[in-house]
Chains A and B, each alone.
Chain A
Amino acid sequence: MLGVGVGIDRRLVYNVDWVLLGTTLALSLVGVAMVYSATHAGQKPDLYLKQLALVGVGVLGLALAAALDYRRLADRAVLLYGLSLLALVYVLRFGPVIAGTRRWVVMGGFQLQPSELVKLATAVFAAKLFSEFRQESLGLREVALPGAAVGLLALLIAREPDLGTAACLVPLFLAVAFLAGLRMRAVVGLAAALVLAAGLAWPLLKDYQKTRIYTFLDPSLDPRGAGYQKIQSQIAVGSGGLLGRGFLQGSQSQLGYLPARHTDFIFSVLAEETGFVGVFAALALYLLVLWRMLETARLARDRLGAFLVAGVSAAFAFQVVYNVAMVAGLVPVKGLPLPLMSYGGSSIVASLMGIGLVLSVRMRRFAN
């Protein structure tokens, strides 16, 4: 569709980052197991099979993304941006209202969440824009236009509303700009501007969003409402102890005290049932994934590749850190899935495709 050549060169296969791929798949399969634990006794006991199938689809997407030459993809960055805008406007205009939000496109029985793919498109777009700059250091003036372009996408996603996914675009953009040589003064200035923007956005927040922030600061304000999720998640995590309560044995997970346990709070299930040992192992795997991604950025043959990897990694890192911090009760509850583990087709496929893009960059480090 995009008219990008897909070529599988035998040389490329030698340069696949098997550690990154293996770790990614391991985390995905742990996710399937946790989805099984979270749902096997419920009304949809076969959800883990669907998740497994989605991992399969995601691996196909990963292969496709890896096979694509990212430079060809970047050549179509403006087109990708345009399609992203179109998709987001379409969702806002025609998307069905599910749980009070318009986030999905329904196609032939499948629900697709465009914002997940928009994240990847944004990474390509930002990488392309910044790779065009040739000067050593960038000021605020240079990043203003790309910032506005990415900000527009974030705004549209935030309107759905999906604050979590919208927020992912901020570290994505910042990481790329940072690598591109944004001056430290500008970094500080941008951070200040963001804080200011957050202050200005406060009156625009929905009541439930404000409530979540209030009750995050003091969960006892509403132990049965917004504070409930945080309290129950902390109980699940803490009661897991060092070694965990055992697979399928977590009372918080199995008896339904944990809300959204197969989606946003999947890590609580892992924490409760496998304990600190399991948490440590899972976080080590995520750190390994991130480390290998950033190493790929180091090894990239051009700035475009490094920026693309940095953008994908930043969004991925933000999502992992925020979600896990939320499970541990460190940050307000926000609907943000854990990449690779949380149940959800768009999230898992987009996460795996993102890894595919990173692989693509590494595979082509020596290629012309």
Chain B
Amino acid sequence: MRIYEDLRLMQSRLAVLQAVVVLLVAALVVQFCNLQVLRARHFRDQAENNRSRLVTLAAPRGALVDRKGQLLVGNRPSFNVVLVPEHALNLDRVVSRLAAVLGIGEAAIRERLARRQPYRPVLVKTDATLADIAVLEARRLELPEVSVEVVPLRSYPLASAAAHALGQVGEITERQLQLAEFKGLLPGALVGQAGIESRYNRELMGKDGYRRVIVNSRGLEVSEAARQPPSDGPHLTLSIDASLQAAMEAAFEGRSGSAVALDPETGEILAMTSTPAYDPNRFTTGIEPAEWAILANDPGTPLMNRVIQGTYAPGSTFKVIAATAALEERLITPQTSFYCPGQLSVYNTVFRCNTPGGHGVVDLRRAIGVSCNVYFYQVGIRLEITRLSKWARLMGLGAPTGVDLPFEAAGLMPSPEWKLRVLKTPWYAGETVSVAIGQGQVSATPIQMARVAAFIANGGRLLRPHFARQAGTPLPAPAVRPETIAAIRDGMRSVVAAGTGWRARLASVEVCGKTGSAQVVARALLEKTPTARELLPHGWFIAFAPADRPSIALAVLVEHGGSGGEAAAPVARRILGHFFGLERAEPKAAVLQSDADDTEG
């Protein structure tokens, strides 16, 4: 007979245990339902972020070529070291390792890490050397979070040539990232920061491609999920003539100043220089703060494009405008003469001419040729400021030329309304007398004055200077009568042939020009300390050639070079000599010229 133990209590307690097990498993099912059904999308996204990494394939920027197809700005391959920190087991260690291996500051890496976007590679070093790459390759397994990308980097084979016109690229700034213009770009992108690179940034940039790669937990690439190849930025042909550009820069011989040459028929810019310049190659990989500080604080302002940002009193080059205005307003004719005794007393002021003894009786042609101030005082008195201002504006002063470069200065063409509005004082007639010879409040940029030269050269059409060669831009109608143009040309011809601009004379091509001096200090002070270079006036020279059928118009400004005839005309001559292929020609007749003609207002 079997003896069965009394197991009743145990049966009920077993039921409790069974219930506990069922409840626990049910709780687990609820939690899995929560994770896998209700929140599945959230975790699917996280898994996707985990495993896939977007690698940008940088589109090479479009190259910039000169009018003859010579490369001005191109690209070269470079190596970027990037870091994807998401799965770094010990980020601090990775950062200090990297800093040591690449010889860069840990702080710089940390600063970039702080600004990163999740799962985006962080740029650690741009333009790494082959030695850097070799070291990193050797530590590939040790630093799997680090990879090397090949990216096209901007290169400026002509170094500082036309640096200001071409501009440079740099890493996009925090502020730029907020702008609509740069929408869709990420930190680290290279964008145009100055010059043509900036103005045509969108056109040049092309479209970056990408690779979506699958990476394992150590950050090593396993496979490629998708690829969108980059589309290169289109080439941009510029109106620049690289050879003329080089000649223009050489002509300055290290002096500071600027020059710009235009095709007077189209407004195309053939060459543009501003000295001192800088090497844009220094910017392509992100300039060192110390180096930037040196450039930015240099008293010679190498970063400034003097051609479009330097505003100077136009001095006697303004006489071309005053004469045009007076002729068009029919206040004078080419035959109108005034007597120059060396000075003019008017409005209780004595206005001096540039030659103490005076020029005697001068007509328009001679007045321009020898730059007689008294003649233009008389012209100014007859024109009055309103008409003078109107014509100066018509010829492009007081407003940006619209050249395809960023940050262009407007210069200033004063008027009674302007003075009342800004200085809160009425216009005095005596001021008009000064403005008529390009002194006083009036100021202009070299590109505005080159445009004035082109205006006379092309028969009175105001063109927009530009680099990008666009077809079919209609030419504006002439704004002045042919007789006026003929008279001014006649005067400008005599400037070079027998006047203040004789140093610009070429043996076989007839040059028309006009000298000018922008006074920096009062003449009296200059006479006391004639050796102080920074007190010397800026020398201007505007010109076009050949006289009968002009194919080039230009403006030259030599800062603190002295008078335009002495300082700027020789520079212009060298530029024109190169343009016409006459580099070796010497101005034989010129050496006979007397120094008396060098002075001008």
Contacts and interface: CB of A to CB of B under 8 A. Distances in A.
Interface of A: 136, 175, 178-179, 181, 224, 232, 234-242, 251-252, 255-257, 271, 275-276, 279-280, 283, 286-287, 290-291, 294, 297-298, 301-303, 306, 310, 313-314, 317, 321, 324-325, 328-330, 368
27 contacts: A178-B17, A235-B43, A236-B47, A237-B32, A239-B46, A240-B36, A240-B40, A251-B51, A255-B214, A255-B217, A255-B222, A256-B218, A257-B47, A276-B33, A279-B29, A279-B36, A280-B32, A283-B29, A287-B22, A294-B21, A298-B11, A298-B14, A301-B4, A303-B5, A310-B14, A317-B24, A329-B35
The DSSP consensus for interface residues of chain B is helix
Contacts of A330: 28, 31
B2 A242 contact: no
Given A276-B32, A279-B29, A287-B21, 5 more contacts: A237-B32, A238-B35, A238-B40, A294-B17, A310-B17
Contacts of A241: 36-37, 40, 44
B18 interface: yes
A313 B11 CA distance: 15
B25 A321 contact: yes
Nearest to A291: B18
Contacts of A238: 35-36, 39-40, 42-44, 46-47
Nearest to B50: A257
B72 to A, nearest CB: 47
A88 to B, nearest CB: 28
Interface of B: 2, 4-5, 7, 9-11, 13-14, 16-18, 21-22, 24-25, 28-29, 31-33, 35-37, 39-40, 42-44, 46-48, 50-51, 87-91, 214-218, 222
B32 A328 contact: yes
Contacts of A232: 50
B219 to A, nearest CB: 10
Central interface residue in B4, B25, B90, by most chain A CB within 10 Å: B25
A286 B29 CA distance: 12
B36 A276 contact: yes
A298 B10 CA distance: 8
A235 B50 contact: yes
A321 B31 CA distance: 12
Contacts of B43: 234-235, 237-239
A224 B44 contact: no
Contacts of B87: 224, 257
A175 B36 CA distance: 33
Contact of B40 (A242, A257, A302, A317): A242
Contacts of A275: 36
A7 B175 CA distance: 86
Nearest to B18: A294
B139 to A, nearest CB: 20
B15 to A, nearest CB: 9
A255 B215 contact: yes
Contacts of A294: 14, 17-18, 21
A185 B220 CA distance: 59
Nearest to A228: B89
B5 A255 contact: no
Contacts of B217: 255-257
Nearest to B42: A238
Q: 4 closest Cβ contacts across the A-B interface?
A: A238-B43, A256-B217, A239-B47, A241-B40
Contacts of A224: 87-91
A116 B504 CA distance: 103
A91 B513 CA distance: 104
A314 B24 CA distance: 12
A239 B51 CA distance: 12
Given A179-B13, A255-B217, A239 B29 contact: no
Nearest to B217: A256
A328 B37 contact: no
Contacts of B36: 237-238, 240-242, 271, 275-276, 279
B22 A255 contact: no
Contacts of A291: 18, 21-22
Given A255-B51, A303-B7, A242 B214 contact: no
Central interface residue in B13, B33, B222, by most chain A CB within 10 Å: B13
A362 to B, nearest CB: 14
A273 B21 CA distance: 26
Contacts of B46: 235, 238-239
Contacts of B31: 325, 328, 330
Nearest to B22: A287
Nearest to A134: B5
Contacts of B32: 237, 271, 276, 279-280, 283, 328
A310 to B, nearest CB: 7
Contact of B28 (A297, A306, A325): A325
Contacts of A303: 5, 7, 10
A329 B34 CA distance: 12
A324 B27 CA distance: 11
A283 B25 contact: yes
A178 B2 contact: no
A259 B50 CA distance: 14
B44 A290 contact: no
A259 B214 CA distance: 18
Given A136-B9, A237-B43, A294-B17, A368 B2 contact: yes
A302 B90 CA distance: 58
Contacts of A179: 10, 13-14, 17
Contacts of B10: 179, 181, 297, 303, 306
Central interface residue in B10, B42, B215, by most chain A CB within 10 Å: B10
B47 A251 contact: yes
Contacts of A298: 11, 14
B37 to A, nearest CB: 6
B225 to A, nearest CB: 11
Nearest to A224: B89
A241 B32 CA distance: 9
Contacts of A240: 36, 40
A31 to B, nearest CB: 18
A321 B51 CA distance: 30
Contacts of A276: 32-33, 36-37
Contacts of B218: 256
Contact of A175 (B5, B11, B17, B42): B17
Contacts of A178: 13, 16-17
Contacts of B5: 302-303
B21 A242 contact: no
A255 B47 CA distance: 10
Contacts of B48: 251
B21 A257 contact: no
A239 B17 contact: no
